[in-house]
Amino acid sequence: MSDATIRPARPSDADTVAALWQAFLEEQTAVEQRVAMADDAVNRWRNDFPLWLDDSTRKFLVAEVDGTIAGFAHAHRWGPPPILADSAEVYIDDVYVAKDYRSGGHGKALVDAVRTWAESLNADRLRLGVLAENATGRAFWEAQGAQPLALTYTIELDATEEPDDTASTKRRIGF
């Protein structure tokens, strides 16, 4: 049973939650190098954080223990592409609890708060992703009642030759 207070994140939480989010990504990278953080990731996160707090389709929660933010959860309303049967879902983007606060029920309390929000939206289910190599993360989610739905595979490519129409440095795909 968690002794944390679960509450909505506030703009004043930005520095603390950014540090926790960075620790989360560093732990993920230690498990799987293919999810390494971009050089500008923290700046991008800081730009988006205030927008997420004001977005009614998102929920950003923190777990506070004795005045210290011990963890956070970020989720958003989600629906399948139009080729699939319509359903209302909430996608859990991130759940993280700092190492010193683990095994205290804080992660479960955060997930329960997201579940309550999803139920208030009449969502059909929660959706989330976890790294295949993250056995601890998979065990946590299975303890919350999560069941696998899909597997994502990657095929590494040998990109030693640059196409004629590109510069010699890799260009980022996307925004």
For 103, the domain range is: 5-143
47: in domain: yes
Asked whether residue 90 is assigned to any structural domain, the reply reads yes
**Distance separating alpha carbons of residues 157 and 98, to the nearest angstrom:** 35
Average pLDDT value for residue range 61-71: 97
Report, as an integer, the average pLDDT of 48-63.
Answer: 97
For residue 168, being part of any structural domain is answered with no
Residue 170: pLDDT band with limits 50, 70, 90:
low
The answer on pLDDT for 171 being more than 60 is: yes
Q: What total number of domains does the chain contain?
A: 1
Residue 136, domain member (yes or no): yes
Q: Give residue 124's pLDDT.
A: 95
What does the DSSP 8-state code read for residue 99? G
Is 169 among the domain residues? no
- List, for residues 112-164, the tens digit of each pLDDT value: 999 999 999 999 999 999 999 999 999 999 999 999 999 989 999 987 766 66
Q: How confident is the model at residue 32 (pLDDT cuts 50, 70, 90)?
A: confident
Q: Is residue 171 part of a domain?
A: no
Domain membership flag for residue 172: no
Question: Does a structural domain hold residue 14?
Answer: yes
Instruction: State the average pLDDT over residues 10-25.
Output: 96
| Percent of the chain surpassing pLDDT 90 | 75
Contact 88, 26 (CB under 8 A): no
Where residue 112 sits, what CATH number does that domain have?
3.40.630.30
CA distance 137 to 115: 18
**Amino acid in the structure at residue 35:** V
